[in-house]
């Protein structure tokens, strides 16, 4: 019978030099906008904050960015090409990326404000024709 995974605190006890690294993969800005329009964005971000607190490093690539605004590099807004995932991996290896927000360096209020700012910028750039095709 398989055993349950160890909590991260047990891993730290076993391997004190190990670092727990987590991330949120890219998610289309259209999907993040839908969270906001359905009034679920702040709850989504609060949940991420709770998860991120358990990690030593935690990058969020779902924040609206040049990567997530574009339809290039994604099959459906949630699954991305190998080239895009290579950019995510590079950010994880460097522990920083201009495509992500670092949950271990910013607090929930600052990240929430940044999400709302980036969403407002994104919503201001789409045309009515684009919005009607995404429904």
Tell whether 95 is covered by a domain: yes
Give me the torsion for CA of 47, 50, 51, 56, rounded to 10°: 150
The CA–CA distances, whole Å, from 127 to 44, 80, 112 equal: 26, 24, 25
Tell whether 100 is covered by a domain: yes
Domain count across the chain: 1
Question: Is 88:23 a contact under the CB 8 Å cutoff?
Answer: yes
Tell whether 13 is covered by a domain: no
Span 24-40, pLDDT tens digits: 999 999 999 998 988 99
Q: Which structural domain range is residue 121 located in?
A: 19-133
Tell whether 3 is covered by a domain: no
Q: Please state the separation of Cα 11 from the chain's center in Å.
A: 24
Tell whether 12 is covered by a domain: no
Span 87-130, pLDDT tens digits: 999 999 888 888 999 999 999 999 999 999 999 999 887 655 45
pTM: 0.80
């Amino acid at each position: 019978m398989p055993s349950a995974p160890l909590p991260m605190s047990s891993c730290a006890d076993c391997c004190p030099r190990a670092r727990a690294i987590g991330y949120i993969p890219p998610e289309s800005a259209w999907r993040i906008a839908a969270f906001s329009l359905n009034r679920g964005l702040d709850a989504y971000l609060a949940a991420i904050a709770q998860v991120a607190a358990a990690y030593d490093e935690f990058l969020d690539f779902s924040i609206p960015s040049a990567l997530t605004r574009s339809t290039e590099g994604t099959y459906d807004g949630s699954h991305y090409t190998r080239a895009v995932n290579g950019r995510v991996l590079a950010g994880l290896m460097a522990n920083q990326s201009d495509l992500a927000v670092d949950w271990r360096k910013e607090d929930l209020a600052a990240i929430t404000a940044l999400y709302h700012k980036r969403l407002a910028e994104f919503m201001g750039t789409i045309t009515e024709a684009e919005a009607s095709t995404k429904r």
